Amino acid sequence: MEVCVIIHYLLITILGFIIGGISGLFGVGGGFLLVPLLTSVFSIPCNIAIGSSLCQMIGTSTASTLKHRTYGNVDYRLAMFILIGSISGAELGAQILMFLKNNTKALLINNCPISQMDFWVNLIYLFLLSLIGISMFVESRKAKKSLSLSPEEKSLSQKEKGVVKTVFSQKVQNIKIPPLVSLPTSEIESISIWNLILLGLFTGMISGLLGIGGAFIMNPVLIYLIGVPTSVAVGTSLFQTIFIASYGTLTHFFKGNIDFILVVNILSGSLIGSQVGAKIHHTLKGRDIRYYFSLVIFVAVAIVLIKFLLRINYL
């Protein structure tokens, strides 16, 4: 029995190393992949996986941020305005999760009872991850092809630097509702503070509800909707994830959703993995980072989908 327990925690530590590597490489807390793996592979209750994921994310994101800071990839001013909305959003998401948890009326799918919490968390995961993964995969593939056709653009193109100018980002930057702020690190002359606060509110809510730092949504939003360079989006997302995860951890702690033994085991691997991931990130171009990130998202989609189909006896 003791051997099984040791192997169990060893595997969780290895999982932590992988999650840490993903965090440092892509600028995400890793919760979008960690939570479904903890629930499906290690049979950890959804609410405990969510609370513990947020708790370990504090250490992982801090370690990754410190590494990205040395490369100048953190826009502190951008992160500050996002955080104004994130804290309120995190509490809102946690309240929604507890509402679903306390709703004892189970759903019946294919003659299999499934709780409201499991159903809605899985559904939201699948929708958001699929949308972001497909969009990022298509865009990054186009960027790789367009650059390969024009050798001169390889040294001059904005996409090579990691900046993706889209119709959406130009429209968002053209919304001049005061007060406005300049973001030199993100190469943005002026943008409405309200756009950044609303972004923080949305990502914070997703964080509290799904047990993630919100960066897997924030990264593509910063890149495609705000027009932030890929590397800066990665470093900034990691920095603000520290604060979102901290608040999410606090609110889930009082709700009894954190297993600290689980957290320690994950962190023992993720702190090392985050440093490795950040070093690899520094060697890649923006379009390649976006492409590989989309592949990781597809893996997460597959895990959640297979888990859900097994839960309702479709597989």
| Rg, the chain, Cα only | 19
Distance separating alpha carbons of residues 199 and 211, to the nearest angstrom: 17
Mean pLDDT of the chain: 81
Question: What was the pLDDT predicted at 143?
Answer: 75
Q: pLDDT grade, residue 155 (50/70/90)?
A: very low
Distance separating alpha carbons of residues 148 and 256, to the nearest angstrom: 52
| Residue type present at position 138 | V
pLDDT over threshold 50, residue 231: yes
Question: What was the pLDDT predicted at 96?
Answer: 85
Q: pLDDT grade, residue 101 (50/70/90)?
A: confident
CA 227 vs. chain centroid, Å, equals 18
What percentage of residues in the chain have a pLDDT greater than 70? 90
Q: Give the DSSP H or E segment for 107.
A: strand 107-109
Please tell me whether residue 284 adopts helix, strand or coil conformation: coil
132-164 burial: b if 16+ Cβ within 10 Å, else e: bbeebbebbeebeeebeeeeeeeeeeebebbbb
Decide: pTM greater than 0.75: no
Cβ-Cβ contacts under 8 Å for 232 (sequence gap 6 or more): 73, 74, 75, 78, 162, 185, 186, 187
Which tokens in the block code for residue 194? Answer: 């309200």
pLDDT over threshold 90, residue 163: no
pLDDT over threshold 50, residue 157: no
Q: pLDDT (tens digit, 9 = 90+) per residue, 43-90? A: 888 888 888 988 988 888 888 888 888 888 899 999 888 888 887 887
pLDDT over threshold 70, residue 170: yes
Distance separating alpha carbons of residues 41 and 304, to the nearest angstrom: 11
Q: pLDDT (tens digit, 9 = 90+) per residue, 237-267? A: 888 888 878 888 888 898 888 999 999 999 9
Q: Residue 109: beta bridge partners?
A: 112
